[in-house]
Chains A and B, each alone.
Chain A
Amino acid sequence: MKKKNRNVAIIGSGMSKFSSHREEVNQPELIHEAVVEALEDAHLTMDDVDCVLHGNMELFEMVHQPDMWHVLGTGAWGKPGVRLTTGGTTGATLACAADNLVASGLHDVVLAIGFEKLEEGHATGGITNMADPLWGRSLQTGALTGTAAQKLIEQFGEERAKNAAIKMRIIMDEHAMRNEKAHRRLRLDRKYMKQIATQTPPLVGELRMIHMCSQSDGACAVIFASEDKVAQLGANPAWVVDHETVHREETLIFNSGKSTHRVAAERLYARNGITDPIHQIDVFEMYDPSAWWGVDWLGDFLLCESDEHVKMVENDQIAIEGEFPLNPSGGVQASNPIGATALVRVAEAAMQVVARRANTRCRVM
């Protein structure tokens, strides 16, 4: 049973513009944009920050110990800090770690920074060694896989599954059109749903280019503070109620048993009195690396037993105006600076909570 030593809130966040190319800035300069915005958002200076967390994909930029060089942009000079790198989940790990560091009483104010410059270095170099048939690391392509499509087609039939995936993609693009920082804002038109789905190059199985997340440059910075600090600063807090992490060896278990998402959601709901997630949660920022994963994982995170999640896509329930807005930011399908991506979800959720202050049912997860 988890118990917090003290309450923790997000009191500010910042993001760079997300884009396929950020030639005008180097890595610390890109990070600096997000850090400056976060400090301004929280009305703080670096003097107020006790600890700086730094994360991105291991070796995707081919720079060893980037956190040391990046002090030029992070503001971490002379401060305690930790570098974290856990693949696509790095950003969420940063948020979990920041929550723990503040909740434990070790630090009052923690700045968590996620970044990626996917146009630099050579991501393939970082990811290639994940696969080695000798060790059961037999198939590992990150999110670039057709397995989610295969699973949905088997569950719901080809036409319904394909329609749900492309509908999800279009809704995410509609959301991204409202987010000036989003990388891909494609102005996809629902009228041409069929053409959009079929005229895009296939990648793996039924996973097509249009379904896939982008490859983005970008950084995100989020400031976590203790309850005392929130009161002292008069900050506008988004409380971090709880978090959950589930680990397992990924590559040998395709579409069998419960997903890690479902297990994490079950534990989180049980601890926090959530018995009806679809109605108790007001807004959800999900890490959805492709439209296929998006539909499938929505079902897992909401503990759907049948086709409720597919219906939520079909009837626009997940649109911003719907009853269960999913990814008002446009989500990962619009912008994916990987090491920042999961932290962007947390930052976006916090912004939603602060903006919708009147509605006290909002929770950050």
Chain B
Amino acid sequence: MSGETEYAYVVEGKMALPYQYFAGAVGSKFLIALRDEKRILGVRCPKCETTFVPPRQTCERCFSDLTSHWVDVGSSGEITGYTVINYKEPYQPKEPPYVLALIKLDGADTPFAHILNCADGAQPAIGMRVRAVFSKEPKDNILAISHFELEP
């Protein structure tokens, strides 16, 4: 076995990966409301009675166009799932360890992922109440919400 692998080389390579994407009109409206008004918007499918946050153009179930069904949802909600990030990688938004949580905002039917800051010693748990802390600097991405924190 060792004879077969002794001269089996691994050829190292490197690739540059610049990346961008278009948020589209629906996604941009969501980002602009976050950045300029610190409001969190969703869309509600009238047929399926489901509120999607972040918003989407079309209801995947019934194919309804949701672009004229905007709703405000709260900036507080509850944890529906979480994980603790312990490994370190370049380009992470924070120094580990930190918590990424799935948060279902009040009035929303879908959770979305964001950073959860826990005060010293506090442990996250499913069902706990959290609230959004908006970034002090205007930002054109989801980090317009700086992070979530546990409600006292």
A residues with CB within 8 A of B: 22-29, 32, 45-46, 61-62, 71-73, 75, 77, 117, 119-122, 125, 128-129, 134
Complex-state Cα separation, A73 to B66, whole angstroms: 12
Closest chain B residue to A77, Cβ basis = B60
Asked whether B60 lies within 8 Å of A71 as measured between CB atoms, the reply is: yes
- Consensus secondary structure, chain B interface: loop
Complex-state Cα separation, A27 to B22, whole angstroms: 8
Q: Which residues of B contact A45 (CB under 8 A)?
A: 63
Sample of 10 further A-B pairs with CB below 8 A, known A27-B21, A73-B57: A23-B22, A26-B21, A29-B24, A29-B25, A62-B19, A73-B58, A121-B20, A122-B17, A128-B15, A134-B11
Closest chain B residue to A76, Cβ basis = B60
Taking a contact as CB atoms closer than 8 A, the residue among A24, A32, A61 that contacts B58 in the complex is: A32
Q: Which residues of B contact A75 (CB under 8 A)?
A: 60, 63
Known: A72-B56, A73-B57. A25 touches B25 (CB 8 A): yes
Flag whether B136 is at the interface (Cβ < 8 A): no
- Pairs across A and B, CB under 8 Å, 28 listed: A23-B24, A24-B22, A24-B24, A25-B22, A25-B24, A26-B21, A26-B26, A26-B27, A28-B58, A29-B24, A29-B25, A29-B57, A32-B57, A32-B58, A45-B63, A46-B63, A62-B17, A72-B57, A72-B58, A72-B60, A75-B63, A77-B60, A119-B22, A120-B21, A122-B18, A128-B15, A129-B15, A134-B11
Q: Which residues of A contact B11 (CB under 8 A)?
A: 134
- Nearest chain A CB to B151 CB, angstrom units: 31
Asked whether A121 lies within 8 Å of B21 as measured between CB atoms, the reply is: yes
- Nearest chain A CB to B80 CB, angstrom units: 20
Complex-state Cα separation, A119 to B19, whole angstroms: 10
Asked whether B20 lies within 8 Å of A120 as measured between CB atoms, the reply is: yes
Closest chain B residue to A73, Cβ basis = B58
- Nearest chain B CB to A131 CB, angstrom units: 11
Known: A28-B58, A32-B58, A73-B58. A117 touches B22 (CB 8 A): yes
Q: Which residues of B contact A71 (CB under 8 A)?
A: 60
Complex-state Cα separation, A32 to B57, whole angstroms: 9
Closest chain B residue to A134, Cβ basis = B11
Q: Which residues of B contact A29 (CB under 8 A)?
A: 24-26, 57-58
Asked whether A22 lies within 8 Å of B22 as measured between CB atoms, the reply is: yes
B residues with CB within 8 A of A: 11, 13, 15-27, 56-58, 60-61, 63
Q: Which residues of B contact A24 (CB under 8 A)?
A: 22, 24-25
Complex-state Cα separation, A22 to B15, whole angstroms: 27
Taking a contact as CB atoms closer than 8 A, the residue among B16, B23, B61 that contacts A26 in the complex is: B23
- Nearest chain A CB to B51 CB, angstrom units: 15
Closest chain A residue to B25, Cβ basis = A24
Asked whether B24 lies within 8 Å of A77 as measured between CB atoms, the reply is: no
- Top 4 closest pairs, chain A to chain B, by CB: A26-B24, A77-B60, A120-B21, A24-B25
Q: Which residues of A contact B18 (CB under 8 A)?
A: 122
Taking a contact as CB atoms closer than 8 A, the residue among A26, A62, A129 that contacts B22 in the complex is: A26
Asked whether B57 lies within 8 Å of A28 as measured between CB atoms, the reply is: yes
With most chain A CB atoms within 10 A of its CB, the pick from B16, B17, B58 is B58
- Nearest chain B CB to A105 CB, angstrom units: 27
Q: Which residues of B contact A46 (CB under 8 A)?
A: 63
Q: Which residues of A contact B24 (CB under 8 A)?
A: 23-26, 29
Complex-state Cα separation, A117 to B22, whole angstroms: 9
Complex-state Cα separation, A129 to B15, whole angstroms: 9
Asked whether B15 lies within 8 Å of A61 as measured between CB atoms, the reply is: no
Taking a contact as CB atoms closer than 8 A, the residue among B17, B21, B58 that contacts A125 in the complex is: B17
Complex-state Cα separation, A364 to B16, whole angstroms: 42
- Nearest chain A CB to B54 CB, angstrom units: 11
Closest chain B residue to A32, Cβ basis = B58
Asked whether A122 lies within 8 Å of B25 as measured between CB atoms, the reply is: no
- Nearest chain A CB to B126 CB, angstrom units: 25
Complex-state Cα separation, A73 to B65, whole angstroms: 10
Complex-state Cα separation, A77 to B16, whole angstroms: 34
- Nearest chain B CB to A196 CB, angstrom units: 32
Closest chain A residue to B20, Cβ basis = A120
Q: Which residues of A contact B63 (CB under 8 A)?
A: 45-46, 75
Complex-state Cα separation, A119 to B20, whole angstroms: 8
Q: Which residues of B contact A117 (CB under 8 A)?
A: 21-22
- Nearest chain B CB to A137 CB, angstrom units: 12
